[in-house]
Structure 1
Amino acid sequence: MARTEYYDDPQAPAPNSMVVAASAVVADGEGRLLLQRRRDSGLWALPGGGMELGDSLPGTAVREVKEETGLDVEITGLVGTYTDPRHIIEYSDGEVRRQFNICFTARITGGEPALSEESTELRFVAPADLDALPMHHTQRLRIQHYLEHRCEPYLG
C-alpha cells in the first residue's frame, strides 16, 4: 500500500479518519538515531505507528519499535506531541488520516536489528548525516526537537 504525506497543501484530500500514534527516538551509545526507510513511501522515519485498543501510548511506541526494527526498548522520556491539522497522510486504500502522534525517547534493552514488512532498510544515523536522507518535514521536526535537548516537551 502506498502512502503520500501532505503538509500545509491546499491540494491535500480531506481526512476521513483520525489515528492516535506513537513514535520513538532511539539513540545508540554513539548518539546515532535509529531510522527506518519506509516501504510505503521510500522516506526515512522514526519507528512508530498506530495505537491499538489494548495499548497505552508508551506501550504503542515499545511495540512499534519491536515490530519495525526487532529491537526491545524502554521509554525514557517525551519529545513532544504532534497534532498539526495541516499534516495529512493519504493511503492507496482510500484512508486519508490526520494523525495524533506522541513522540517518546527510548533506550535499547535487547533484541537484534531486523527488517519488517514495513521497511526496506534500518540504519543508525549520526545527527550530522540526517540532512542527506529523504525525510518528511514532520519527522525532521521530531528529531530536531530531540536534538535540542529541550527542558519541556514540544506541545503542538
Structure 2
Amino acid sequence: MEPKWLTWAKEIQALAQAGLAYSRDVYDQERFQRLREISKEIVAGHTDIPYVKLTDLFTNETGYQTPKVDIRAVVLEKGKLLLVQEKSDGKWALPGGWGDVGLTPGEVAAKETLEEAGLRVKPVRMLAVYDTVQHDHPPMPYHVYKLFIQCELLNGRPTGGLETSRAEFFNEDRLPPLSPGRNTQKQIFQLFKDAADPDAPCRFD
C-alpha cells in the first residue's frame, strides 16, 4: 500500500485540478492553485523529485483528473511467460506501457509487444484490471490502473527494442528480477495460473 502522505497529496492535487477546471470565481481559482502547490510541496518533501520537475510530472494536466492506464501483454507459450528486460532499470516486465489515444487496449498490447519484444501477437481476453494502490507497487505520483491482456503468439523472434535490452520466455520457477513498478511477483504468479486456465475470471481491484 502507498504511504498515506502520497494518498493525501494525490487527492489534494485531483481536487485542485477539478477546481481549476470548473470554478469561475477568481478567488477560488487562487485557492485551488495554492492547493496544487501544497500537493507538490508534500511530494517534494518526501521524495528525491525536484520541486520544479513536479510541475511537469505531477500537476501537468487540466480538467477532471482520472487514473492513468498502463497496459501489459501476457503471452504464455508452452508454459513459459514472455518478459522483456527494461533498459531503464535492468529488470524484467511484461511488455507494455501507457494507453495510447486512438488505439484500443488490445491494440496497445499488440503494439507494445512488437516494439519491445519483436513478436506479433493477437489479443484474446482480459485477465485482470488492477489498481496499483491495492498492490505491492512502489509509490508513484499518478493513480494508475493496470490492464493485463492475454495475447496469442502469432510469429516473430524474441528481441529487444528501443526501451528494452532483451526478450525471453521464462518458467514460473525461474523468474528473473522483476520491475515492481510495472508488475509484482504476486501478479505474475497469478497471471501464470489464469493464462493457463480458459475459465479463469477477469480479476479486478
TM-score (norm 1): 0.77
Judged with a 3 Å threshold, the aligned counterparts in structure 2 of structure 1 residues 89 and 119 are, in CA distance, closer, same or farther, namely farther
Deviation of the 1:19 alpha carbon: 2.2
Which whole-Å deviations, capped at 9, do the CAs of 1:64-101 have from their partners, x for residues lacking one?
111111100011222200113364565xxxxx333221
Judged with a 3 Å threshold, the aligned counterparts in structure 2 of structure 1 residues 147 and 114 are, in CA distance, closer, same or farther, namely closer
Q: Does 1:34 align with 2:28?
A: no
Deviation of the 1:146 alpha carbon: 1.7
Structure 2 match to 1:154: 203
Q: Does 1:48 align with 2:93?
A: no
Structure number, greater radius of gyration: 2
Judged with a 3 Å threshold, the aligned counterparts in structure 2 of structure 1 residues 116 and 89 are, in CA distance, closer, same or farther, namely farther
CA contact (8 A) 1:20 1:51 kept: yes
Judged with a 3 Å threshold, the aligned counterparts in structure 2 of structure 1 residues 9 and 89 are, in CA distance, closer, same or farther, namely closer
User: Which of structures 1 and 2 has the larger relative contact order (alpha carbons within 8 angstroms, sep 6+)?
Assistant: 1
Structure 2 match to 1:144: 189
Identity %: 23
Structure 1 match to 2:23: none
Deviation of the 1:112 alpha carbon: 2.5
1-side partners of 2:155 and 2:190: how far apart? 26
CA contact (8 A) 1:21 1:60 kept: no
CA contact (8 A) 1:22 1:50 kept: yes
Q: Which 5+ residue runs of structure 2 have no aligned equivalent?
A: 11-57, 60-66
CA contact (8 A) 2:117 2:167 kept: yes
Partner of 2:184, secondary structure, is helix
Partner of 2:132, secondary structure, is coil
2-side partners of 1:77 and 1:140: how far apart? 21
2-side partners of 1:148 and 1:22: how far apart? 19
Q: Which 5+ residue runs of structure 1 have no aligned equivalent?
A: 1-6, 91-95
Structure 2 match to 1:93: none
Higher strand share: 1
Deviation of the 1:142 alpha carbon: 2.7
After superposition, residues 69-84 of structure 1 pair within 5 angstroms as: 69-84=117-132
Q: Does 1:109 align with 2:154?
A: yes
2-side partners of 1:97 and 1:141: how far apart? 21
1-side partners of 2:80 and 2:110: how far apart? 19
| Number of equivalent positions | 142
TM-score (norm 2): 0.61
Structure 1 match to 2:106: 58
